[in-house]
Structure 1
Amino acid sequence: MGNFEITDNFYLDGKPFQIISGAIHYFRIVPEYWQDRLEKLKAMGCNTVETYIPWNMHEPKKGEFHFEGMLDIERFVKTAQELGLYVILRPSPYICAEWEFGGLPAWLLAEDGMKLRVSYPPFLKHVQDYYDVLLKKIVPYQINYGGPVILMQVENEYGYYANDREYLLAMRDKMQKGGVVVPLVTSDGPFEENLNGGHLEGALPTGNFGSKTEERFEVLKKYTDGGPLMCTEFWVGWFDHWGNGGHMTGNLEESVKDLDKMLELGHVNIYMFEGGTNFGFMNGSNYYDELTPDVTSYDYDALLTEAGQITEKYRRYRDVIAKYREIPEVTFTTEIKRKAYGTLPVKEKVSLFSVLDDLSAPVESSFPQSMEKLGQNYGYILYHSTLDTEEKLEKLRLWEANDRANIFVDQKPVTTLYDLELLKEKELDVTFERGADFDILMENMGRVNFGPRMEHQRKGIGQCVQVNGHMHNHWKQYTLPLDNIEKVDFSKEYKEGLPGFYRFTVDIDETADTFLDFEGWGKGCVFVNGFNIGRFWEIGPQKRLYIPAPLLKKGENEIIVFETEGKTRDTIVLKDEPDIG
């Protein structure tokens, strides 16, 4: 059994301990690669690994918990311990992390009036129910009981969000009553107002920043009561959003200097050591003047690439760390290969409209309802009606609609409305026969993960569809989370220019990492042997999707592309190099 405490410094079993940590999000990396990433972390000189814990993944439906496969937090912690690494856990219900809804489960939004991250009893009750399960999983791995966990975090960057002291105290108390005995920290922006709102008694305040180390630590000193100075998120790069013009990178020379100063003055957690991938529909979004959904790659210009390759930044950081501790010899035990499997021709294709009833049982309603009200969290939703009283389609507005709408009349594309375009009436000139099909395919592009807009993240259509000035009623609502892709029947009708599914196969005799090039394709998502590897969009900057080798198998592999714009090719290409812009 061990002991970790905070006084004027961090002390491990009574001896001063300098935390040199790197962030690895287990839920962004296939578990077969955890060992490799942790070995590379140790080989750079880090003695600790840090990770968030995403509530939305562990409790995707109220009362339904998952801790298997990529969500096996216990296996991740044990793997770190076997390598001699200590662990920092951040089990806050909110994680930010450029992750869908900041890690909060979307089903919270099904409740009218839900208030997030404040002293609102229904929210606190849901957190308690989650902690009743989660904490039992992680408490035994604290250093006091022979585990590697030395710190846990209360909430996350709370001073950026609010200043509800009672809420912060409640979150601290829930953790401690649930069995957390290791020291607690908070992490906030390195400014007085953030720290005023985000720190609390019984937890060491730490800072999140990417530059100006001395200046930031001087501010932090005012709050630590003589305790150690730590940057809990040393931002070494940044994230990309669709359409941002190119992959974001940091200033390596300045970053190296900041790391050196950080280790001279205190402690660090490098964010990110490896960013990984926003598999599935798990990318987050920001919203300032407009919606900016993050791309599938969470490369972050980190020390390892999205696919785990060592970078020049890794080597430069290792040189700095070597000034402060001895770099251990580490043998990398996971063989990772890359392969270009070449050009694959499409084998089968089918239109979405042909397989709607295979994928979803429609819910009929006089008025449209949001995804959350229909028990759906992610993906797409299609609203179907018929134009029985309208003479023409001249004006259209969707009320309380998010995030992107493809509109069809008579199963022909009419217009696409995205983000700000959904806030105003669209003028059209569409003629049709009375009784024509009227379909609206809505996509959840990833819920906002930062700021007060988080409470307004219902997806789909929440109020009404206004046609030519009046509300249009009577809808069949097809929820399309696409978690049942095996039900797509490719024997049914295909029509050009409409949303559709495209099936490819590749026979391989050796599994290796590969990268799917989607040049010539419009917008959608991709499934590899049933696993959703994420979204693509021709606007970039990301141009290829990462397929880790463990998702493949010897023999025949199936790749299904879902495309929504009717912009496709007859082929896809699997290459041996990434292209994230």
Structure 2
Amino acid sequence: MSQREGLRADSSHFTLDGVPIQILGGSIHYFRVPRACWRDRLLKLKACGLNTLATYVPWNLHEPVKGMYRFEDQLDLEEYISLAAALDLWVILRPGPYICAELDLGGLPSWLLRDKNMKLRTTYPGFTAAVNSYFDKLIPIVTPLQFSRGGPIIAVQVENEYGSYAKDEHYLTFVKEALMSRGVTELLLTSDNRDGLKCGGVEGVLQTINLQKLSYGAIQYLADMQPQKPLLVMEYWCGWFDVWGEPHHIFSAQDMIAAVKELMDRGISFNLYMFHGGSSFGFTSGAVDFGSYKPQVNSYDYDAPLTESGDYTTKYHLLRDLLGSYQSKLPQLPAVQGRKVYEPVVFSQHMSFWESLRCTDMPFKSNDPVNMENLSVNHNSGQSYGYTLYETSIYRGGALHSRNHVRDKALVFIDKHLIGILDYRTQETAVPHSERERILGLLVENCGRVNFGPALNEQRKGLVGDITLNHTPLKKFTMYSLDMTPNFINRLQSLKWKSTDEKPLYPAFFRGSMAVDGQPRDTFVKLPGWSKGVVFVNGQNLGRHWSVGPQNTLYLPASWLKSGDNQVIVFEEHRAGGKMHFAENPQHCKTIDVSRQPFCTLS
């Protein structure tokens, strides 16, 4: 059999195997969708009239510990791409190494920051060596899946939105050659918003654009930059992400359909970002910082055509009707998977956070506080996520000042009793006076590393410098790593738990049982009256709960449940509100319509 000719961009339209095509794409990230749901979501993408799947590849999840790689189970990229092929979908692969994606550190592994001189997204030798090692593992997995070799991958993206960063004029060439030297032969492309197009290109690579509104002449600007080249909107933002403490974002279905119709009529290829957002489970969500730090929520619903739990929306049906008018026949709609509102969970037991320290690894001791990434845990890869406890002895009271070295939020304790909170806005708290020796504790939470913008290199977490008591730096710290991995949660089971008849000492873990009769169904968890913490079901970290909103529920997939009793553990920092409740649909606080807002420049 002769080799197929891959995607070509030699004229004003794309050709694939010599035939003109229009790319009608949708983004679905395998790492944000439970593996049991992959097929359902891809079938719904195809049934909507789309022909291409786009996905990022998160380095931080595939190499969570330096030199230890994960490409199985939820992270089985080969199986995900093969499933797309089986459903007759093309694939645009976006392997980074940086991907943004509203993931912690933009998908870069935090252990890179152990190098105090690290310069991310540049040709700094420490960064390029790490990229080369990662690509040595990743790229051989995907090269057999390229279109010219019988697979579905028709294009591969070179990094992501580098024009908005542009710290090193040689960097994109390095990434391009790193891909090609390992056997990537399909069409290469870059992706930038309009402001980044000027600095985001590299010779021999097609440029594409990201946008939400077709005004401002952005597409014409791209066309003028690349005469006689096909146009691709790599990210048409049909929604937006949320940050804690601000409104939930929505985007008008009518505005989206009008934009897609214009793209169709002009023969412009596009990829909907997101077609289905899913969830940033656990501690994987990132943050933004354009003058003030704002952590992102766990839901990545994105107001997409498919909801966080895979339901059809008005956007989906309008989009399907529109795309169906350009095609002879669309596949049948897959059935909707029902959800269930389970009986509330009663928490019968609790354990003080201080007791849980017995389940941590050996504490780390140092004269000065050490940032999370440089703690000597996890095969010298440091701590990536969760909380770190810093303890030291004090002999007086006075003014405790963080000097803005808390990343990102610290609960301050004296002899295990909460006396204050330090964060970016509050950098000083009063310590009661006493001349006897007391233990000062700071439980510092990584709320998410920034995933976009110039602050990437400054995303070390925990205590990143001295804190002072009456202007004198504190010394002789003992540090405990609380990354709250499944192994840690399992170790908690062996400890003695107290009855909830006894008053808990906060922070605390609460344990209860969720009853599931028959076949499990998807549901949403809600914790009215609770304050802030983390939810675990059968050892799986659903993500943060936080009363500031806008996310008031956490998605719990059916595939993470079993018939019978399911164990629920909630870590709560301040106040337990009683039972855990369930809802059929997600719930949010106040919403804001971004289609009525000024042009967005992020992605």
Counterpart in 1 of 2:595?
A: none
Q: CA deviation at 1:366?
A: 1.1
Counterpart in 2 of 1:322?
A: 324
Distance 1:487 1:444, change over 3 A: same
Q: CA deviation at 1:430?
A: 1.1
Q: CA deviation at 1:121?
A: 1.3
| Alignment of 1:567 onto 2:575 | yes
Q: Mapping of 1:407-486 within 5 angstroms? A: 407-422=412-427, 426-432=428-434, 434-483=436-485, 484-486=488-490
Amino acid at match of 1:227: K
Q: CA deviation at 1:545?
A: 0.5
CA distance in 2, matches of 1:365, 1:495: 34
CA distance in 2, matches of 1:421, 1:264: 53
Percent identity of the aligned residues? Answer: 39
Asked if 1 retains the 8 angstrom alpha-carbon contact of 2:146 and 2:186, the reply is yes
Deviations 1:249-298 (A, max 9, x none): 01222221111111222100000000000101011100012111111100
Q: CA RMSD in A?
A: 1.5
| Alignment of 1:6 onto 2:9 | yes
SS class of match (1:421): coil
CA distance in 2, matches of 1:303, 1:575: 21
Asked if 1 retains the 8 angstrom alpha-carbon contact of 2:190 and 2:201, the reply is yes
Counterpart in 2 of 1:110?
A: 114
Amino acid at match of 2:119: K
SS class of match (2:249): coil
Amino acid at match of 2:531: G
Counterpart in 2 of 1:380?
A: 387
CA distance in 1, matches of 2:254, 2:289: 31
CA distance in 1, matches of 2:208, 2:461: 35
Amino acid at match of 2:125: P
Q: CA deviation at 1:358?
A: 1.8
Counterpart in 2 of 1:50?
A: 54
Deviations 1:119-175 (A, max 9, x none): 211101110110000001111100011000000000101111115331111110010
CA distance in 2, matches of 1:258, 1:576: 32
CA distance in 2, matches of 1:517, 1:11: 49
Deviations 1:527-551 (A, max 9, x none): 1100111111000011111100000
Q: CA deviation at 1:326?
A: 3.1
Asked if 1 retains the 8 angstrom alpha-carbon contact of 2:405 and 2:467, the reply is no
Amino acid at match of 2:579: T
Q: CA deviation at 1:118?
A: 1.3
SS class of match (1:96): coil
Q: CA deviation at 1:331?
A: 5.5
Q: CA deviation at 1:427?
A: 4.4
Amino acid at match of 2:541: N
CA distance in 1, matches of 2:216, 2:42: 29
CA distance in 1, matches of 2:329, 2:32: 27
Q: CA deviation at 1:497?
A: 5.0
SS class of match (2:119): coil
CA distance in 1, matches of 2:135, 2:158: 12
Distance 1:496 1:543, change over 3 A: same
Amino acid at match of 1:251: S
Counterpart in 1 of 2:344?
A: 343
| Alignment of 1:395 onto 2:400 | yes
Distance 1:25 1:213, change over 3 A: farther
Amino acid at match of 1:533: L
TM-score normalised over the length of structure 2: 0.92
User: Residue 522 of structure 1 is aligned with which of 517, 521, 531?
Assistant: 531
Asked if 2 retains the 8 angstrom alpha-carbon contact of 1:49 and 1:85, the reply is yes
TM-score normalised over the length of structure 1: 0.96
Counterpart in 1 of 2:68?
A: 64
Asked if 2 retains the 8 angstrom alpha-carbon contact of 1:354 and 1:492, the reply is no
Using the TM superposition, name which of 56-65 and 323-332 deviates more: 323-332
CA distance in 2, matches of 1:421, 1:290: 13
Using the TM superposition, name which of 274-283 and 314-323 deviates more: 314-323
CA distance in 2, matches of 1:355, 1:226: 63
User: Residue 307 of structure 2 is aligned with which of 298, 305, 308?
Assistant: 305
User: Residue 521 of structure 2 is aligned with which of 467, 492, 512?
Assistant: 512
CA distance in 2, matches of 1:317, 1:435: 67
Counterpart in 1 of 2:143?
A: 139
SS class of match (1:297): coil
Amino acid at match of 2:418: P
CA distance in 2, matches of 1:169, 1:208: 21
User: Residue 555 of structure 1 is aligned with which of 549, 552, 564?
Assistant: 564
Deviations 1:483-521 (A, max 9, x none): 121111551567635111011111212200011111111
Distance 1:432 1:518, change over 3 A: farther
For structure 1, which runs of at least 5 residues remain unmatched after alignment?
none
SS class of match (2:304): coil
Q: CA deviation at 1:471?
A: 1.1
User: Residue 540 of structure 1 is aligned with which of 543, 549, 553?
Assistant: 549
Using the TM superposition, name which of 569-578 and 200-209 deviates more: 569-578
SS class of match (2:275): strand
CA distance in 1, matches of 2:475, 2:384: 24
| Alignment of 1:353 onto 2:354 | yes
Asked if 2 retains the 8 angstrom alpha-carbon contact of 1:410 and 1:432, the reply is no
Q: How many equivalent residue pairs?
A: 571
For structure 2, which runs of at least 5 residues remain unmatched after alignment?
376-381, 590-603
